[in-house]
């Protein structure tokens, strides 16, 4: 049984969407080189490309925009955000950044040297890209359950502690400028990390004197999963859980476009004053002064309000149940997904659905294109298009273990009827999946190629 949660809000403003014809969709996707990033957003009916920056702001956030202080330095809006940051995350220092990857760039610029390794449960693509851009090596050490779509383990984002210790011993802490963990684990199905695991990871990094950073863009969803699933946390508030999580870290960054419910924004926070000084220098060079970091004063206001709304437990209940509804309905139709459904997205298991398409022919891309042609739905491939890369030693292409299509759910945007439409479309695609063919890449840039690659159908 799938139950759709009642939204804890009502709708005050609407944005029209329209469904273009199948013929128009076929022309549009061909013109886009079969890359859904190259489509016009207006040619999409239900846009699940990302949950990043695509949420609906609340009346309180829109109201807060009007009181933004646009002073270049020392704006009131900065101090309001600093107060929120202190109350939720508790780091000694923080800087605003225009989004998550700006923070990743700064961390990488000031900490990563050529040949350094950065372990995590799983890095997201922009984190990987920023580490590689500094000639560092991102390393993913998620538990094996995290790579098994069928495993019902409740914290599939957890780090494998044995693999982590082995990796640190082999690499040497001198070559690990910092260690990370991503909550929730976006690249691995939006799966949460338990507080126990975060505590053990923190202890492990600290045993080897490695600073511990949290990629926290979906921290609120992760903390809510801890409350729901981890023994001893049911009666704690999400805020209390967040305090426990961040007290374990030496630093963190966040794309506020996710759990802070804004269309643009981010931050980078640390405890160490010397590191903060270096971060400020890099920030001023690339983003802006330390009290606005590439954002307008009004953006800082919207972020301050959004951070509190993001940890509201009525909202989180709705959010997590909405994702579960979509995931469970797809499962009822026999469509394989990463189970159990994660926080911000449902991940279709394209590798299992399309076993006749080898990784080199991008089964995820085949599925994502088919969903667009069938129903003007936009998802994103998270498989070999995004993550296949040449092995640094052998130069042979290494494919990721999972070939996925992510249907990411914008916050407070779509209703049950939108999801029911999507399930019908996905069912039709799945019924005809044997007829789908693979793709070959006709153009690819070196870093973050999925954004601009072009494809052609094979055969
Ligand atoms: N870290 C994680 C785990 C992310 O999911 C993202 C973005 C970033 C960092 C970078 O943040 O986009 O503000 O620069 N994820 C988006 C997504 C793009 O679709 O999952 P950003």
Full DSSP string of 113-124: -TT-EEEES---
Q: What three-state secondary structure class fits 442? A: strand
Q: What is the CA radius of gyration of the chain?
A: 21
Rounded to the nearest 5°, which phi and psi values hold at 346?
Answer: -110, 135
| pLDDT value of position 231 | 97
Tokens 């052609």 -> residue = 456
Q: Answer for the pair 370, 379: CB distance below 8 angstroms, yes or no.
A: no
Which DSSP category does 174 fall into? Answer: G
Cα–Cα distance measured from residue 160 to residue 169, given in angstroms and rounded to the nearest whole number: 14
| pLDDT value of position 80 | 98
The tally of CA atoms less than 13 A away on the side-chain side of residue 37 is 14
Q: How far is the CA of 90 from the centre of ligand 1 (A)?
A: 22
Atom 21, ligand 1: which residue's CA is nearest?
100
Q: How far is the CA of 82 from the centre of ligand 1 (A)?
A: 22
Q: How far is the CA of 2 from the centre of ligand 1 (A)?
A: 29
The token duo for 79 is 């101090």
Question: Which residues lie with the beta carbon below 6 Å from any ligand 1 atom?
Answer: 50, 52, 99-101, 124, 126-127, 182, 186, 215, 217, 255, 257, 266, 408
Q: How far apart are the first and last CA of the chain?
A: 42
Alpha helices (H) in 93-150, listed in sequence order: 100-111, 125-133
Q: Is the peptide bond before 340 cis (omega within 30 degrees of 0)?
A: yes
Which DSSP category does 328 fall into? Answer: H
Q: What three-state secondary structure class fits 276? A: helix
How many of the other CB atoms lie within 10 Å of CB of 317? 15
| pLDDT value of position 445 | 87
C-alpha of 406 from chain center: 10
Atom 10, ligand 1: which residue's CA is nearest?
100
| pLDDT value of position 54 | 98
Ramachandran quadrant class, 232 (left: phi over 0; alpha: psi -120 to 50; beta: rest): left
Identify the CA nearest to 390 among candidates 159, 112, 132.
132
Best residue among 36, 50, 98, 100 to mutate for probing ligand 1's pocket (most ligand atoms within 8 Å of CB) is: 100
Q: What three-state secondary structure class fits 397? A: strand
Q: Please, what are the averages of pLDDT over each run of 10 residues along the chain (459 residues)?
A: 90 97 98 97 98 98 98 98 98 98 98 98 94 96 95 97 98 98 94 98 98 98 98 98 98 98 98 98 96 97 98 98 97 95 96 96 98 98 91 90 95 98 98 96 88 94
The token duo for 244 is 């426990």
The token duo for 106 is 């700064």
Q: State the closest ligand 1 atom to the C-alpha of 380, by its place in the atom list counted from 1.
A: 19
Cα–Cα distance measured from residue 133 to residue 123, given in angstroms and rounded to the nearest whole number: 14
Q: What three-state secondary structure class fits 263? A: coil
| pLDDT value of position 100 | 98
The neighbouring-strand residues paired with 255 are: 266
Question: Length of the chain, please?
Answer: 459
Cα–Cα distance measured from residue 88 to residue 93, given in angstroms and rounded to the nearest whole number: 13
The token duo for 382 is 């998270």
| pLDDT value of position 392 | 79
Rounded to the nearest 5°, which phi and psi values hold at 270?
Answer: -145, 165
Q: Answer for the pair 311, 220: CB distance below 8 angstroms, yes or no.
A: yes
Q: What is the DSSP string of 341-388?
A: --SSEEEEEHHHH-TTS-GGG-HHHHHHHHHHHHH-EE-EEESHHHH-
Q: What three-state secondary structure class fits 139? A: strand
Best residue among 182, 186, 264, 382 to mutate for probing ligand 1's pocket (most ligand atoms within 8 Å of CB) is: 186
Cα–Cα distance measured from residue 6 to residue 357, given in angstroms and rounded to the nearest whole number: 40
Q: What three-state secondary structure class fits 272? A: coil
Best residue among 126, 379, 407 to mutate for probing ligand 1's pocket (most ligand atoms within 8 Å of CB) is: 126
How many of the other CB atoms lie within 10 Å of CB of 132? 18
Rounded to the nearest 5°, which phi and psi values hold at 359?
Answer: -50, -35
pTM of the predicted protein model: 0.96
């Amino acid at each position: 049984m799938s139950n759709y949660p009642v939204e804890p809000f009502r709708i005050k403003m609407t944005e029209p969407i329209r469904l273009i014809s199948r013929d128009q969709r076929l022309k549009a996707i061909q013109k886009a080189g079969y890359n859904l990033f190259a489509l016009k957003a207006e040619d999409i009916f239900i846009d699940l490309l990302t949950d990043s920056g695509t949420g609906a702001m609340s009346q309180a956030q829109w109201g807060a925009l009007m009181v933004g202080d646009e002073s270049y330095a020392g704006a009131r809006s900065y101090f309001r955000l600093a107060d929120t940051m202190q109350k939720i995350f508790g780091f000694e220092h923080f800087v605003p950044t225009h989004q998550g990857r700006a923070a990743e760039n700064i961390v990488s610029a000031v900490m990563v040297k050529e040949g350094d390794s950065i372990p995590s449960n799983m890095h997201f693509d922009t984190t990987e890209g920023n580490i590689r851009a500094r000639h560092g090596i991102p390393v993913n050490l998620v538990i094996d359950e995290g790579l098994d779509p069928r495993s019902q383990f409740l914290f599939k984002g957890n780090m494998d502690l044995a693999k982590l210790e082995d990796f640190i011993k082999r690499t040497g802490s001198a070559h690990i400028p910092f260690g990370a963990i991503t909550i929730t684990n976006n690249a691995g199905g939006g799966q949460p990390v338990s507080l126990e695991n975060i505590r053990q990871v923190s202890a492990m990094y600290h045993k080897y004197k490695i600073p511990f950073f949290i990629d926290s863009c979906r921290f609120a969803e992760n903390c809510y999963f801890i409350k729901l699933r981890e023994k001893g946390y049911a009666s704690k508030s999400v805020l209390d859980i967040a305090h426990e999580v961040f007290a374990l870290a030496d630093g963190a960054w966040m794309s506020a476009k996710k759990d802070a419910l804004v269309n643009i924004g981010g931050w980078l926070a640390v405890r160490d004053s010397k590191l903060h000084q270096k971060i400020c220098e890099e920030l001023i060079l690339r983003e802006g002064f330390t009290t606005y970091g590439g954002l307008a004063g009004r953006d800082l206001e919207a972020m301050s309000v959004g951070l509190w709304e993001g940890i509201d437990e009525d909202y989180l209940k709705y959010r997590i149940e909405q994702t579960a509804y979509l995931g469970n309905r797809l499962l009822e139709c026999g469509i394989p997904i990463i189970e159990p459904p994660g926080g911000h997205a449902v991940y279709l298991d394209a590798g299992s659905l399309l076993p006749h398409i080898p990784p080199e022919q991008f089964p995820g891309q085949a599925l994502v294109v088919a969903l667009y042609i069938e129903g003007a739905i936009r998802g994103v491939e998270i498989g070999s298009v995004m993550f296949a890369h040449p092995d640094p030693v052998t130069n042979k292409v290494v494919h990721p273990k999972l070939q996925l299509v992510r249907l990411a759910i914008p916050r407070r945007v779509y209703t049950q009827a939108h999801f029911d439409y999507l399930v019908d479309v996905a069912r039709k695609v799945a019924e005809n999946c044997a007829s789908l063919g693979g793709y070959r890449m006709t153009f690819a840039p070196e870093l973050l190629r999925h954004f601009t690659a072009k494809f052609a159908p094979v055969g």
